[in-house]
Amino acid sequence: MNIDLKDKTLDELEQLVVELGQRKYLAKYIFQFIHTQNVSDIEEITPLSKAFRQKLTEEGYFISEIEILEKQVDKDKTAKYLFKLGDGERIESVLLHDGKRKTLCVSTQAGCNMNCAFCATGKLKFKRNLSAGEIADQVNTVEADSGKISNVVYMGMGEPLLNYEAVMKSVEILNHEEGKNIGIRHITISTCGIIPKIEMLANEKLRPRLAISLNAPENALRSQIMPINNKYPLDKLIKTIKNYQEQTNQRVTFEYVMIKGLNDSHKHAQMLIKLVRNISCNVNLIEYNPNSECDYKGSNSTVIKEFASILSEAGIETVIRFRMGREINAACGQLGADWLKKLKE
């Protein structure tokens, strides 16, 4: 039985409240106090009667809470949060500033088993999936510390679609108008390409934006740096994305990490154009972020700009994402790098 109130949607809370002999509307107070006031003690939900609060506690219900162990801030204002979960596992979240917009990159797993060659997180052992409450609580906790979060991207530690149910449940929690009320168009799920789950996502009523971590335009190279490609090769992945668009009519983002001498030539750009030109999409070129656990170097800015120009001239909307949070190991592919270094010392 799930006894963490933070891990429940409003519908689930309504069902619980009724089962405990109370009026359905009381569930809204529980949901609001948890997700708008960041309450972690049932006793603080004062619209509930003292007797009902006591009954919830006696039945074993509680409100989980993640703990900030460390906060680092880069000179570009990027902030990295190290969290301790209830069982002692650790995760990281990254807060990005873009004008008035604040985007939080959340983790969905403790560790990751995708083992992408360019990613420090993939070098950490997979420990477990996070609950929906633990995912949503990253937003609650960072918002309490740094102000209103406008966008959420599921691009932190772990592969979101391998924790599908909890991820989609957290999306519902974060999107709900009685809680954080983050618009669904301001929530993005990034995946390395878990085809069966992309197919499931296409059928969801509540559907966030979809981003595909691509990083190579042909199978041999992609399999070299992303082992998941051996299970879900590019031809099947692209077909799935096209089917996804036919069902949803939503644009897809392709993320492409630029690695020096590996995937950044003019030939790779032309191959990428051929791969995605019949898909409604935009391409994010991400400057590779070096870390001590991965033996790669990032493409220089001239190469990245030339690559972007080739794509743009072919009619593909392209954005260059230069490094943010690099000095605190908060950039794409660097989460967990600090721990790996300490483990080896």
Q: What single-letter DSSP state applies at residue 79?
A: E
**Distance from C-alpha of 173 to C-alpha of 258, rounded to nearest angstrom:** 34
Catalytic residues: 92, 332
47-62: pLDDT as tens digits: 999 999 999 999 999 9
Domains of the chain, start order: 5-58 (1.10.150.530), 107-128+149-162+175-344 (3.20.20.70)
201-206 mean pLDDT: 96
Contact indicator for 287, 295 with CB cutoff of 8 Å: no
| pTM score | 0.93
**Above 70 in pLDDT, residue 299?**
yes
**Distance between CA 231 and CA 280 in Å, rounded?**
25
One-letter amino acid for residue 261 of the chain: G
Q: Give the model confidence (pLDDT) of 89-115 as tens digits.
A: 999 999 998 888 999 999 999 999 999
Name which residue leads in pLDDT, 149 or 344: 149
Distance of CA 301 to the CA centre of its chain: 26
Q: How many CB atoms lie within 10 A of CB 232?
A: 18
Does residue 326 surpass a pLDDT of 60? Answer: no
Residue 198: what pLDDT?
Answer: 98
How far the first Cα of the chain sits from its last, in Å, is 41
Question: Is the C-alpha dihedral spanning 217, 157, 145, 74 positive or negative?
Answer: negative
User: What is the DSSP-derived secondary structure letter of residue 293?
Assistant: T
pLDDT of residue 330 exceeding 70: no
Q: Tell me the DSSP string of 189-244.
A: EEES--HHHHHHHHT-SS--EEEEE---SSHHHHHHH-GGGGTS-HHHHHHHHHHH
Q: What is the mean pLDDT of the chain?
A: 92
Q: Look at residue 124 in the predicted model and tell me its pLDDT.
A: 79
Residue 30, CA distances (Å) to 49, 63, 80, 137, 194 in order:
12, 10, 29, 15, 35
The pLDDT tens digits for 213-238 are: 999 999 999 999 999 999 999 999 99
| Other CB atoms within 10 A of residue 194 CB | 21
